[in-house]
Structure 1
């Protein structure tokens, strides 16, 4: 791990986001091995990742942002509140323009006149919603280049880990419906992994931006936290419970939160 710690934060962000992309591809690759997915396993993984992302939003993003604002002489909670709400508003506006499509909307809510474009719409919608996740990873690693003591490598790594876990069932959620709709296995995998390709690009941009404009770090970290919480509240938690595995998903979320809390507090 020492070699990783010695790398430039932008390169760390790239590697971390390549991992999240790789997890999307791994989830999409499930299409090569089965025509059915284990719903309980997918729901528990998704909920676990939701718990990790909630904990990461505070310990890896909001809390360091508050500490940085205080070190800069700002009102500690102000950048956190403003950035957090702006992150949620950004995702809300994005969701109004291009809603995140799940398997049900893919098959039942897209009108017949758009049938030829269903694959493109599904991949494009999930790809756009992956941009904030890539930015969150980039901002977390980019903050390591600052002079602030509140950012930790362990926190940034744990954040990338949580997003990567969340991306596994997401990749499966794209490739499996495409396969059932008659798309070949190779094309289903290609479109599934493609939805995560934007994350390394967004991560590098996020890391470079906060390194150049350090005064924006408290806002940027809080913005990423707000975007993450929006995704968890609107997509991850409902998605993990919509097939009826409510108790399993709830407890998996709590385990994910606990694991992330231990990682960030103990290692950070």
Structure 2
């Protein structure tokens, strides 16, 4: 149990480690911002289409996959209309999380829950090396996601420390979900295929709705396109390397 707990913590909090470099960024140009966001968008698309969706199909069928993907996307679409602009500290005008940033953090948090369930349930299962492989895949995906969360919030005018803290929060939620999945393995295993599909739908929605438009509004569309492809291929290469 102790070894499994360490694996769950390390996988989940790779999000926080990935967010830390944002603290050392003084300023970032639109060109570099668009390139980084597009690169991470490519990683997210690869993680969804090359990792989460095939894994869901192996555990269930096309109907469950389509249901989970559509529910993930529809939920974020509803959230976009329901979440208002929020001032996190009314005494300070510089600590604000705008609607776009709040929806993005909520999306990343929601999709981390089924990922955490997958890690915990896989570690508790009797399938040899399954838990380690799933945890490693999620950890490799979480690091750039943490950087993306913090960087996206920084681009929305949020303070660096708050951006890193929000990235840490998304990792903490995944860690709790991993522990739950470990102790409720029978229930979690039933939910895993739905959760994987839900996570894929949430990620694809946020990529197409938020990240791609964000990278195509400053005149660096070609650079962003090739950065996206590089991120896509990088994630596929990493997954293949560890298989």
The aligned residue for residue 119 of structure 1 is 95
Q: Is the 8 A contact 2:19 2:143 kept in 1?
A: yes
- Correspondences of 1:94-113 after superposition (within 5 Å): 94-98=79-83
Bigger drift between 149-158 and 253-262 goes to 149-158
Question: CA 1:254/1:155 → structure 2, altered by over 3 Å: closer, same or farther?
Answer: farther
Structure 1 length as normaliser, TM-score?
0.73
State the SS of the aligned residue for 1:37. Answer: coil
Residue 53 of structure 1 and its aligned partner are, at CA, apart by 1.0
Question: CA 1:147/1:140 → structure 2, altered by over 3 Å: closer, same or farther?
Answer: same
| Separation in 1, partners of 2:57, 2:45 | 17
| Separation in 1, partners of 2:155, 2:66 | 39
The aligned residue for residue 144 of structure 1 is 122
Structure 2 length as normaliser, TM-score?
0.80
Question: CA 1:92/1:178 → structure 2, altered by over 3 Å: closer, same or farther?
Answer: closer
Residue 51 of structure 2 is aligned to residue 57 of structure 1: no
Say which one has the larger Rg: 1
1:11-61 CA-partner distances (Å, limit 9, x unpaired): 43322221212322321441xxx2x31332222121111111111112321
Residue 6 of structure 2 is aligned to residue 7 of structure 1: no
Residue 201 of structure 1 and its aligned partner are, at CA, apart by 2.4
The aligned residue for residue 172 of structure 1 is 151
Residue 126 of structure 1 and its aligned partner are, at CA, apart by 4.6
1:65-124 CA-partner distances (Å, limit 9, x unpaired): 11112xxxxxx212211111111112112222227x8xxxx9xxx9xxx99667333365
| Separation in 2, partners of 1:152, 1:258 | 24
- Aligned length, in residue pairs: 233
- Correspondences of 1:105-254 after superposition (within 5 Å): 119-122=95-98, 124-145=102-123, 146-147=125-126, 153-154=132-133, 156-175=135-154, 178=157, 188-211=159-182, 212=184, 213=187, 214-254=189-229
Q: Is the 8 A contact 1:130 1:198 kept in 2?
A: no
For structure 1, the residue ranges without an aligned partner over 5 or more in a row are 1-5, 70-75, 180-187
Question: CA 1:29/1:125 → structure 2, altered by over 3 Å: closer, same or farther?
Answer: farther
Q: Is the 8 A contact 1:29 1:172 kept in 2?
A: no
CA RMSD of aligned residues (A): 3.2
Bigger drift between 168-177 and 211-220 goes to 168-177
| Separation in 1, partners of 2:58, 2:36 | 32
Q: Is the 8 A contact 1:132 1:224 kept in 2?
A: yes
| Separation in 2, partners of 1:28, 1:132 | 25
Question: CA 1:11/1:239 → structure 2, altered by over 3 Å: closer, same or farther?
Answer: farther
| Separation in 2, partners of 1:229, 1:28 | 27
